[in-house]
């Protein structure tokens, strides 16, 4: 029997929205939630259910409101894929890329092969930034990922339950092209971090890219039980530099059910003409064994700078100003409250 949605009063919703906007992270989530609704990326009934679930937790502080928001988003797939994208439409020669820390790759994906030949244990990242240490790491990575079945049998791109984490991916061709025309004199890993909007990857992070063919998703779609793919939405937790909707320049991506990354380098450069990065999609954890024949792991190198720390330039408050555009925060709250009162 379907659960009846809880009715919301204007006052309790207004109070919760005020609490959520009491922190910068909460304000970013609030604006993205509004943009999802305003641009019809989520149905009214689904939005009302989400708001009712959040309010029902009874938050009394900004921290509690934010924790409740994250809890409702991550609890299950109820609000995930608010506008689905068909994996069957992605075939042909499209190569997809997801980027991750090398220590995350080492912990969750790399599996030691069952062999009598003893090999040196691969480190989670190079010992240092010395050229020789990085070359040794690159050689070890190539050796460990060059044979069939090198990965953990239960490995996934994106972490499964009990600590679920969806995987975000982009087109390899578009990522490579965008990085090539980036005039900033940065190493590859730093450029990739900026283009993909990965603000949590600070200086001293060693990054890898994991590449696979979209054809594999097309071929194995019916074997992927519970698998869902969508444009990114407000309910996809994690990165604070994410925009549900950036501007008209990204319109074709939205019509094709893709999202758009926030380019951190452009965000930190004024005047802002566009902070568009590259097209992206998000999907539920993807078992490696279903794309294993097409996986390629490449080292990107060290990230050599940190983003988000220049006050008024690329910090949370500066991003909030970009994200809300011409919308005033009180107006955003008023329009969300109006949803609860509409027939």
> Tens-of-pLDDT digits for all 343 residues of the chain?
445 556 788 899 999 999 999 999 999 999 999 998 898 888 888 888 889 999 999 999 999 999 999 888 876 555 555 556 666 667 667 889 999 999 989 888 886 555 444 555 688 999 999 999 999 999 999 998 888 778 887 888 887 666 667 888 999 999 999 998 876 778 999 999 999 999 999 999 999 999 988 877 777 766 677 677 888 888 776 678 989 898 888 888 888 888 899 999 999 987 777 899 999 988 878 888 777 667 899 999 999 999 999 999 999 999 999 999 889 999 999 999 998 777 6
pLDDT number for residue 80: 53
Task: Cite the DSSP H helix spans in 145-250.
Answer: 172-180, 188-196, 214-220
pLDDT number for residue 4: 56
Residue with tokens 């039980």, as numbered in its chain:
225
pLDDT number for residue 111: 66
pLDDT number for residue 41: 84
pLDDT number for residue 230: 82
Provide the CA 41 distance to its chain's centre, in angstroms: 17
Question: In sequence order, what are the residues at sequence separation of 6 or more whose Cβ sits closer than 8 angstroms to the Cβ of residue 302?
Answer: 129, 134, 187, 189, 190, 204, 205, 206, 207
What are the DSSP E strand ranges found in the chain? 95-101, 156-157, 167-171, 206-213, 229-230, 242-243, 259-262, 276-283, 286-287, 296-302
Contact between residue 253 and residue 83 where contact means Cβ atoms under 8 Å apart: no
Residue with tokens 């501007």, as numbered in its chain:
247
Contact between residue 205 and residue 262 where contact means Cβ atoms under 8 Å apart: no
């Amino acid at each position: 029997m379907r659960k009846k949605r809880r009715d919301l009063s204007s006052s309790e919703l207004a109070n919760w929205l005020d609490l959520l906007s009491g922190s910068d992270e909460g304000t970013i989530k609030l604006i993205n939630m509004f943009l999802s609704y305003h641009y019809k990326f989520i149905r009214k009934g689904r939005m009302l259910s989400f708001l009712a679930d959040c309010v029902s937790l009874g938050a009394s502080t900004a921290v509690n409101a934010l924790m409740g928001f994250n809890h409702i988003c991550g609890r299950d797939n109820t609000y995930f894929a608010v506008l689905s994208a068909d994996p069957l439409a992605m075939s042909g020669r499209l190569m997809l890329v997801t980027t991750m820390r090398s220590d995350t790759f080492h912990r969750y994906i790399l599996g030691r092969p069952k062999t009598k030949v003893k090999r040196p244990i691969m480190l989670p990242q190079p010992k240092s930034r010395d050229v020789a240490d990085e070359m040794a790491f690159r050689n070890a990575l190539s050796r460990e990922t060059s044979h069939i079945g090198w990965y953990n049998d239960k490995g996934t791109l994106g972490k499964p339950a009990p600590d679920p984490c969806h995987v975000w991916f982009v087109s390899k061709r578009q990522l490579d092209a965008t990085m090539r025309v980036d005039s900033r004199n940065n190493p590859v890993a730093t450029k990739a971090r900026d283009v993909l909007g990965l603000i949590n990857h600070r200086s001293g992070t060693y990054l890898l890219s994991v590449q696979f063919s979209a054809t594999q998703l097309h071929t194995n779609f019916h074997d992927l039980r519970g698998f869902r793919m969508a444009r990114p939405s407000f309910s996809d937790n994690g990165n604070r530099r994410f925009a549900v909707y950036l501007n008209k320049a990204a319109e074709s991506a939205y019509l094709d059910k893709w999202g758009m990354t926030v380019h951190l380098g452009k965000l930190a450069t004024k005047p802002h003409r566009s902070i568009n990065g590259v097209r992206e999609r998000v999907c539920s954890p993807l078992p490696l064994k279903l794309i294993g024949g097409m996986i390629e792991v490449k080292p990107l190198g060290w990230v050599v700078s940190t983003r988000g720390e220049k006050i008024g330039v690329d910090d949370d408050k500066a991003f909030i100003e970009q994200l809300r555009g011409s919308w005033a925060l009180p107006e955003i709250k008023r329009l969300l409250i109006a949803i609860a009162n509409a027939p």
